[in-house]
Amino acid sequence: MEVRQLQYFRAVAELEHVTQAAERLHVAQSAISRQIRLLEEELGAPLFYREGTGIRLSAFGKRFLPRALRILREIEFARQDAEHFLNPDTGTVRLGFPHSVGVHYVPSLIAAFRSEAPNVQFDLVQTRVHNLLEDLLNGDLELAIITPWEDIDDVPPLTGEYLYQEEMRAIVPSNHPLAKKPDIHLSELQPDPFILFKPGYTLRTLVWDACLAAGFEPNIAFEAEETDTIRAFVQAGLGVSVLPMVHPNAGNVPGIAAVPIRGGGFLRSVGIAWHREAGQSGPARRFAQFVVARARAHGSLSP
């Protein structure tokens, strides 16, 4: 059963005349007659009978017509849905990101994008990076901000674009002996209690591995799930931490100091990812292109 057969059947049923149906559809009368005959053969019952110069629906044709109309309506709805899905000017982008880029980076991105595409909406998910990767794989997300970007290499179905790198800095109370130094070696934080992300967060792994490379295992006093919480604990004098400089003023928080770390450039890479085989909606594709272009325009570092 083909869509065009149902379309021919509908036209003939409405006009009760094959010639008029052919004129409406701009096809040959013989083509309509042949397709309806094939449809009748497939269904095993006549759809019409002749009456004078016209034709009328058979008893079975009257039963079949509502079903044919319903199928054609669903096909039209599907076509309209596809047009809406592909339209880059409307629709919803399902975007995920970790908390550490959600405080400043993602809001600034969306604000800039909405100035160009005001009718695009966002369905936002903030969670851990490994959850973001799973959500991309199972189709719950169209796009995700991933950091560290190198994690994408472990998930071959996913792809995307590298965006930029963030400098990691030591975060200490403003009255800490190291607070006024122009830079420090990470090993200088060894005597202090650390405030880190809980296990499972990529920032915890990044800082932990860097401390081991610097020759010590950090003494963890507190664990948290948000960068703002970690900064607040440092501000209260409960320990030190290492966090990315997520925006130019990230270190200008009363009560804390963000001290550069010397010795090899302690950086965190950031990128935007999507499933390489899943079709992106129009607005998601447009947003991804916007994010990449914006990163290039702001002079991202090479990964």
Can you read off the two tokens belonging to residue 133? 């990767």
Question: Which range, of 74-88, 137-151, 201-215, averages the lowest pLDDT?
Answer: 74-88
Q: Which of 42, 60, 48, 46 is nearest to 21 (CA)?
A: 48
CATH 3.40.50.9100 is the classification of domain 92-303: no
Every domain range in the chain assigned CATH 1.10.10.10: 3-86
CATH 3.40.190.290 domain range(s) in the chain: 92-303
Of 87 and 258, more confident: 258
174 CA to centre of own chain: 39
Residue 301 pLDDT greater than 60, yes or no: no
Taking residues 235-260, report their average pLDDT.
Answer: 81
Average pLDDT over residues 22-42: 91
Query: 161-193: per-residue pLDDT in tens?
Result: 999 988 899 999 999 999 999 999 999 999 999
Residues 6+ apart with CB under 8 A from 83: none
Determine the average pLDDT of the residues in 274-295. Answer: 90
Average pLDDT value for residue range 263-268: 76
pLDDT above 90 covers what percent of the chain?
A: 62
pLDDT in tens, 214-245: 999 999 999 998 888 999 999 999 999 999 88
DSSP characters over 23-81: HHHTS-HHHHHHHHHHHHHHHTS--EEEETTEEEE-HHHHHHHHHHHHHHHHHHHHHHH
Going by C-alpha positions, the residue among 166, 178, 165 that lies closest to residue 234 is: 178
Domain 3-86, second-level architecture: Orthogonal Bundle (1.10)
300 has pLDDT over 90: no
